Structure 1
Amino acid sequence: MSTQTTRLEELGRELGEAIADHPKYEAYEEAKAAVEADDEAQAQISEFEQLREEFNVARQMGEASKADLQKVQEAQEELHSLPVMEEFLLAQAEMVGELEKVNEAISEPLAVDFGGEAGGCCND
């Protein structure tokens, strides 16, 4: 293993630790734990996932209707309106914003969007 690879890996670990210590990440983790501990939120998540799965199966079979889609959307809106979910979604959005800034900082000197483009070959 080259010294350069080792240094890059070390920087990667430092970046991961810095992200984990960031207040917005801590807020995200706390909000996630609150959702996981909330019985009402968990019940609505299960209900939403069941409706979404049923809709996806119906859509694949060509049997999904607008009413079915609306039922899924209403379940999602109801779930997202729970205060604990609103807090989680806000914390998640803020953390995603921070990670996008990190991606831009990494990508800028390389002229490569590592968060979006680096996985492919020969992107023009």
Structure 2
Amino acid sequence: MSIQTSRVDDLATDLGEAITELPEYETFEAARAEVEESPEAQAKIDEFERTREEFMLARQSGSASQEDLQELQATQEELHSMPVMAEYLEAKAALGERLEGVNEAISAPLALDFGEEAGGCCQD
């Protein structure tokens, strides 16, 4: 491993550790733990997952109806409206925004759009 590669890996590790110290990350982790520890939230998550699985199976077989979709949406809305889940989703969004800013700061000096480059070769 070259010295430069090792330095980049070290910086990446440092960045990961620094991210865990962000207030947004700490808030996210606390909210995630609350969701995991909430029997009500876990029961609603299980209900949503069952409803989603049933809908996906019905859709694959061509028997999904508008009512099935509405039931899935209603179950998701019930889940998201739970205070503990709403706090989790808000914390997740805030962390996502913060990490997007970090991503932009990392990408700015590279002057390369990796998404565009990954689309194919020989683009002029």
Match of 1:9 in 2: 9
Match of 1:120 in 2: 118
CA distance, structure 1, for counterparts of residue 39 and residue 116 of structure 2: 40
For structure 1, the 5+ residue unaligned runs are: none
What is the deviation of 1:113? 4.7
Structure 1 segment 1-124 matched on structure 2, within 5 A: 1-113=1-113, 117=115, 120=118, 122=120
What is the deviation of 1:109? 1.1
What is the deviation of 1:46? 0.1
Letter in 2 for 1:89: L
For structure 2, the 5+ residue unaligned runs are: none
CA 99–70 in structure 1, closer or farther in 2 if over 3 Å, else same: same
CA distance, structure 2, for counterparts of residue 7 and residue 118 of structure 1: 27
CA distance, structure 2, for counterparts of residue 60 and residue 44 of structure 1: 24
What is the deviation of 1:108? 1.0
CA distance, structure 2, for counterparts of residue 103 and residue 118 of structure 1: 16
Letter in 2 for 1:44: K
The question of whether the paired residues in 2 share the 8 Å contact of 1:55 and 1:69 is answered with yes
CA distance, structure 1, for counterparts of residue 49 and residue 67 of structure 2: 17
CA distance, structure 2, for counterparts of residue 53 and residue 40 of structure 1: 20
CA distance, structure 2, for counterparts of residue 22 and residue 38 of structure 1: 25
Q: Describe the superposition over 1:55-102 as per-residue Cα deviations: whole angstroms up to 9, x where unpaired.
A: 001001111001000000000000000000010000000000011001
Letter in 2 for 1:42: Q
The question of whether the paired residues in 2 share the 8 Å contact of 1:31 and 1:84 is answered with yes
Q: Which has the higher contact order (CA 8 A, sep 6+)?
A: 2
Q: TM-score, normalised by structure 1?
A: 0.92
The question of whether the paired residues in 2 share the 8 Å contact of 1:103 and 1:113 is answered with no
What is the deviation of 1:120? 2.6
Structure 1 counterpart SS, 2:63: coil
Structure 2 counterpart SS, 1:21: coil
CA distance, structure 2, for counterparts of residue 43 and residue 21 of structure 1: 31
Q: Give percent identity, aligned residues only.
A: 55
